[in-house]
Structure 1
Amino acid sequence: MDNGRQMAKDLVTNLDLNLLRVFTVLFQEKNMRRASERLNVTQPAVSQSLKRLRQHFDEPLFVKVTGGLAATGYAEQLYDLVSPNLEALFSGLSHLTHFSPEELKQPITIALSPPAMMALSGALILKFKQLAPNVPLSIVAWSGQTITDLSNGSTLIGVHYGDIAYPKAIHRHQIALLTAAVAVRKGHPLLKEERVFEQLSNYPIASQLIPEWNEKIVVAAQIMERHGMELEVGFRAEDSAVLVDVISQTDMFMPITNLFPKHRYKDIAYPNVQVPKQERYHPLYCYHHLRQRNSPLITWLYQIIQQTVEEQIELNADK
């Protein structure tokens, strides 16, 4: 029994799977030249592989006959064992590197922070209908539960600003560096000002609540304080549409970035606010679980989201 176990172990240890591939093709072709053509290698290379196979199994495997090779009884048993399993293995490995969005059918959930939800949802849905029409897509609002959902896989990927706490098991990619700006109603007094940033403290702020980022603080107020100004918080809400409705009817201003969909709102204007350089830029990230870092699906989702962000920023460029 011990000798049998030792022999089985010897047959597995240091066995090159590529040699088994050569063996299966040789068995099927029974001819060195045809086998080399199928494998796209030279005949001497096939001959060398056969030599290594014979040494490994301590068995001739094939004998020369008129017109080519004949398999030994041992080779026939080995082929019956190896061929179906090797085929399944190489097929599975190929599947890992092959990725076709149109073949996707698994449900996908994407979490978006409120500004991203406002700017990207519709465009992402259209892209999925075009590129991955069979995917049941869910877009949910980023919440205090999202990091947990990313960890357990119920949410596949999320989009949020960078300054949030996340565990080591979560990985992030930067997809854009957003530029800070301000939105106000048309006819707002700030539109006549040359030094808009310095005048912001004269008007209340309508601040967007972004889970995991600014629930306890108003980031714009902190920025103003660093520059010696006090800011009155007039209104806070998570819903982007509510904030747009408020600033369209009041003198409040709303901090935004160049991701804000300017092209959709005809009653909103954008004063030329010169935010100090050190406060001007905010990274936008994709978040997902570390175990999916090399997943073709995650790579594709990251690319689609980044492309959508870039397209939305371009749409807003001339507004």
Structure 2
Amino acid sequence: MAKDLVANLDLNLLRVFTVLFQEKNMRRASERLNVTQPAVSQSLKKLRQHFDEPLFVKVTGGLAATGFAERLYDVVSPNLQALFSGLSHLTHFAPSELKQSITIALSPPAMMTLSGALILKFKQLAPNVQLSIVAWSGQTLADLGNGDTLIGVHYGDIDYPKSIYRHQVALLTAGVAVRKGHPLLKEEKVFDQLSDYPIASQLIPEWNERKVVAAEVMKRYGMELEIGFRAEDSAALVDVTSQTDMFMPITNLFPKHRYKDIAYPNVEIPEQDRYHPLYCYHHLRQRNSPLIEWLIQVIQQTVEEQIELNSDK
């Protein structure tokens, strides 16, 4: 039966072997390894015993590798280098060194606000990444599972499998957008008056496809809303809102600073219906990934910056 050359093998001994093979000299090897020559000699002795091979023979000026040592080096050197490099990346993470494709899925409200800001952040922080931003769809949770999409951004109250993990990045505050000059803007505080106007509601996959969330909220308070328009496309909703008396439910993530034809009445939504958590979603196997942790930080910072831009509007 052939001897198992892997069992009980100390990887540190292989590191000594590769350096010794490259230097062919005990003194120079010990200097590179920052250990004593007797320590190198002891490691070599253990290697000889493990492989039952001499590995090196003494020659004038140092050591010469045996044929077995040359074959061993051809196997060990590239793989050991890859192993130590990979292990070092567990504790070392530099976004500027990333060279890969990253796909981020954004729900429609997040797509409207975060896309450009994320592109700019990646150009600054990770310029060699090929970033793709896609719309969150009914396929996104499956794409997070199979790795086609690395991370997604969506509201919290959606159904997702146990294989998907989520991390809250913001608690958004609900509000309303209307056209400039809308009658609601004359009111000091708005809530019951919303039932006097049709709603322009955004279709958000896996969140409100079968219901209008704002209508459900108003119904709990004894009011019925007329559904005036529904669309997934944010630009279409803004266009309709800016030209009609419909009102559009929004959150404080909505990019108020971009739209001159849109205004924001002072809506007093009951506290239990006022807030919507925003989450990053990713596969559970990525939970401790430095890349995922960094992406969550970048997304959270971008969300906070966009909310701050809207704070005085």
- The TM-score, its normalising length taken from structure 1, stands at 0.81
Q: In the alignment, which residue of structure 1 is the partner of 2:195?
A: 201
Q: CA contact under 8 A between 2:58 and 2:64: conserved in structure 1?
A: no
Q: 1:22 aligns with which of 10, 16, 36?
A: 16
Q: 1:246 aligns with which of 233, 236, 240?
A: 240
Cα deviation code 1:64-91 (max 9, x no counterpart): 9999x74674656644543343234334
1:144 partner SS: coil
- The TM-score, its normalising length taken from structure 2, stands at 0.82
CA pair 47-318 structure 1, distance change in 2 beyond 3 A: farther
CA distance in 2, matches of 1:41, 1:282: 59
Q: In the alignment, which residue of structure 2 is the partner of 1:313?
A: 307
Is 1:183 equivalent to 2:185 in the alignment?
A: no
Q: In the alignment, which residue of structure 2 is the partner of 1:222?
A: 216
Question: Which deviates further from its counterpart, 103-112 or 252-261?
Answer: 103-112
Equivalence map 1:1-319=2 (5 Å): 2=1, 5=2, 7=3, 9=4, 11-29=5-23, 34-40=28-34, 49=43, 52-53=46-47, 56-57=50-51, 70=63, 73=66, 78-79=72-73, 81-94=75-88, 101-102=95-96, 104=98, 106-319=100-313
What is the CA distance between 1:115 and its match in structure 2?
0.5
Given residue 18 of structure 1, which amino acid in structure 2 is its aligned partner? Answer: N
CA distance in 2, matches of 1:70, 1:134: 44
2:218 partner SS: helix
CA pair 46-279 structure 1, distance change in 2 beyond 3 A: farther
Cα deviation code 1:120-150 (max 9, x no counterpart): 1222222333344454433222222222333
What is the CA distance between 1:211 and its match in structure 2?
1.0
What is the CA distance between 1:314 and its match in structure 2?
1.3
CA distance in 2, matches of 1:39, 1:274: 69
RMSD over aligned CA atoms reads 3.3
CA pair 229-107 structure 1, distance change in 2 beyond 3 A: same
* Residues paired across the two proteins, number: 312
What is the CA distance between 1:261 and its match in structure 2?
0.2
Cα deviation code 1:77-117 (max 9, x no counterpart): 64454334323433454466665545555443322111011
CA pair 36-193 structure 1, distance change in 2 beyond 3 A: farther
What percent identity do the matched residue pairs reach? 85
1:122 partner SS: helix
1:12 partner SS: coil
1:20 partner SS: helix
Given residue 6 of structure 2, which amino acid in structure 1 is its aligned partner? Answer: V
Given residue 216 of structure 1, which amino acid in structure 2 is its aligned partner? Answer: R
What is the CA distance between 1:40 and its match in structure 2?
4.2
Question: Which deviates further from its counterpart, 57-66 or 272-281?
Answer: 57-66
2:191 partner SS: helix
Given residue 23 of structure 1, which amino acid in structure 2 is its aligned partner? Answer: F
Q: CA contact under 8 A between 2:21 and 2:65: conserved in structure 1?
A: no
Structure 2: stretches of 5+ with no match in the other structure: none
CA distance in 2, matches of 1:177, 1:91: 39
CA distance in 1, matches of 2:70, 2:34: 24
Given residue 159 of structure 1, which amino acid in structure 2 is its aligned partner? Answer: V
Given residue 309 of structure 1, which amino acid in structure 2 is its aligned partner? Answer: V
CA pair 205-85 structure 1, distance change in 2 beyond 3 A: closer
Cα deviation code 1:127-181 (max 9, x no counterpart): 3333444544332222222223333333333221111122233332222221112
Structure 1: stretches of 5+ with no match in the other structure: none
CA distance in 1, matches of 2:52, 2:100: 47
CA distance in 2, matches of 1:77, 1:146: 48
CA distance in 2, matches of 1:252, 1:199: 12
CA distance in 1, matches of 2:243, 2:272: 31
